[in-house]
Structure 1
Amino acid sequence: MAVFRGDPCGITCLILTYTAIFYADYVIVHWVVLQTMLESLWGAFHALLFNTLVFLTVMAHVRAVFSDPGIVPLPQSRVDFSDMHAGGEKNDDWTVCARCEMYRPPRAHHCRICQRCIRRMDHHCPWINNCVGEWNQKYFLQFLMFVGLMSIYSLSLIAYSWIKDCPDCSKEMAVKQNRLLHSVILSMESILFGLFVIAIMCDQMQAILSDETAVEQ
C-alpha cells in the first residue's frame, strides 16, 4: 500500500533532498567529468557510474517515501475497552493505543505526525516524509548507503579534478571560477550529508544489532 504524508516539513525536506542529489549530478558531469576527462574513456566510465549511483539513490528514496512502514490497520468496528484501562495490556503483550482507539501488536508505537500506529517504529524521518518502521527500514538503509557512496565518490572526483586542471580553465577565467565555485559548494554538501548519513547509519545498525528501536531506547 503506497502512502504519502502532506506534512509541510516533510515535503520541504523532499524538495531539498532531490535538489541536493541532482545538483551533485550536474556538478560532477558538467563541471568535473566534462572539464577534466572529456577526451578519456574514464570520463564516460565515471559519468555512467555516478549516474548509476544517482539512479539507485532516487529509487531507494522513492521506495522509502511511498512504502508502507508497517501501519497497523484501524478496526472495522469500535473496540470495547471497558474491561481494561487505556494503555493496559492484552494477550501476548498487545497494548491499547488511546489515540487510535484500538489494540496494537507488540513493539508498535503511535506516530504523532502520521497519526497512526506503526509496527516496530524507529522514528519519523522528515527526509523521507515517512516513518521508518518494520516494512521500509531496508529501503531507508539503502538510501543512506547510496548517499554515503555518492558523497565519497563526489569528493574523490573533485579532488582529482583539482589535481588535474581542465584544459579550458587556463584560457577562460570564467570557466575556472565557475568550476571552482561549484566544486567548493558540492564538497561542502558532500561532507555535510556524508557525515550526517554515516551517523544515522551507525545508529540504525546499532538498533538492528541490539534489536531495539530508537523509540524503545
Structure 2
Amino acid sequence: MEYEYLVHRREADVHNRCCGGWVWCIRDICGIICAILTWLLILYAEFVVMYVMLLPSPYPIYSTVNSLIFQTFAFLAFASHLRTMFTDPGAVPKGNATKEMIQQMGFREGQVIFKCPKCCSIKPERAHHCSVCQRCIRKMDHHCPWVNNCVGENNQKYFVLFTFYIAVISVHALFLSVNQFVICIRHEWKECTYYSPPATVVFLLFLIFEALLFAIFTAVMLGTQMQAIWNDETVCIDEMEVKC
C-alpha cells in the first residue's frame, strides 16, 4: 500500500520533538498547564488517601490492602498519562506533498490523493489535521489538553488505559472517603486521622468532589473510546482537503 511508505519513513523532522528529536512533545501552554494540573490532582488524591485516611487508620489490614490497591493503580495511571503525552500519535511527515515525493511513493497516474493545505503533507486514509499540533495525525480521534497531545493511531491504547486507571482510583477514593466518615464518627474523630475534624472534613469533601467528577468524565470517555475501537472509527471530523 502506497501510504505504508509514510508510516515507516524516517526523516529528519524535529517539529513537535525535544531531547534531540527522540521525544514527542507539544509546546502548547494550555496543554502543559492541564497536564501539570492532572499530576497535581493525582498527588492530592495520594495525599488524602494515604496521610488523611489509610496511614492513621486503626485497622492495619484494611490500611495495607487499600494502600497497595490505590498505589498500584495510581502509578499505572501516571505512567499511562506520560506514555500518552510523550508518544508520537502518528504524525504524517510535514512537507512531503512534493512532486518528487509523490513519484517516489509510486502513485499510479490519475490516482486521487489528498493533500493537507496547512502542513503540506499527503494525507493517508482517516488522517486529520490538528490545529494545536499543527500536523496531520493518522487515525486521529481528538486532541486532549489533559494529556497535551492528540489521541491517534500510536497512543490511543495508552489513553484508554489512562482513562481506565483514573476511573478505578476515582471510584476507590469515593469508597475510602465515605468509609472514612463512618470510621471517624464511630471513633468520635479520635485516632482516625492526624488532622483536626474541620481539616479532615475539608480534605474529604474536596476529594469526593474531585473523585466524583473524574469518575464520571473518565467513564464516559472510556466508553466513547471503546465504542470507537469496536466500530473501528474515529470521532474527528475531516478538515479541508485538496485533491492532487
Using the size of structure 2 for normalisation, the TM-score is 0.78
Q: Does 1:201 align with 2:222?
A: yes
**1:6 partner letter:** R
Could you tell me which residue of structure 2 aligns to residue 58 of structure 1? 78
Could you tell me which residue of structure 1 aligns to residue 8 of structure 2? none
Q: Are the equivalent residues in 2 in contact too, given 1:148–1:194 (CA < 8 A)? A: yes
Q: What secondary structure, in the 3-state scheme, does the structure 1 residue paired with 2:94 have?
A: coil
Q: What secondary structure, in the 3-state scheme, does the structure 1 residue paired with 2:168 have?
A: helix
Q: Does 1:48 align with 2:79?
A: no
Q: What secondary structure, in the 3-state scheme, does the structure 1 residue paired with 2:89 have?
A: coil
Which residue, out of 23, 28, 36, partners 1:2? 23
Which residue, out of 63, 73, 77, partners 2:93? 73
C-alpha distance in 2 between matches for 1:67 and 1:170: 48
C-alpha distance in 2 between matches for 1:177 and 1:163: 15
Could you tell me which residue of structure 2 aligns to residue 150 of structure 1? 169
Could you tell me which residue of structure 1 aligns to residue 156 of structure 2? 137
Cα distance, 1:160 vs structure 2: 1.2
Could you tell me which residue of structure 2 aligns to residue 180 of structure 1? 201
User: Structure 1, unaligned stretches of length 5 or more?
Assistant: 82-89
Which residue, out of 132, 137, 142, partners 1:118? 137
Using the size of structure 1 for normalisation, the TM-score is 0.87
Residues 137-176 of structure 1, C-alpha deviation per residue, up to 9 Å, x if partnerless?
0000000000000100001111111111275824899621
C-alpha distance in 1 between matches for 2:235 and 2:163: 17
Residues 85-105 of structure 1, C-alpha deviation per residue, up to 9 Å, x if partnerless?
xxxxx9876411111212121
Report the CA distance shift for 1:129/1:39 in structure 2 as closer, same or farther (over 3 A): same
Report the CA distance shift for 1:151/1:130 in structure 2 as closer, same or farther (over 3 A): same
Q: What secondary structure, in the 3-state scheme, does the structure 2 residue paired with 1:109 have?
A: strand
**2:43 partner letter:** F
CA RMSD after TM alignment: 2.6
Q: What secondary structure, in the 3-state scheme, does the structure 2 residue paired with 1:124 have?
A: strand
Residues 19-51 of structure 1, C-alpha deviation per residue, up to 9 Å, x if partnerless?
10000010000111123x244222122112211
- The range that moved more, 16-25 or 174-183, is 174-183
Q: What secondary structure, in the 3-state scheme, does the structure 2 residue paired with 1:131 have?
A: strand
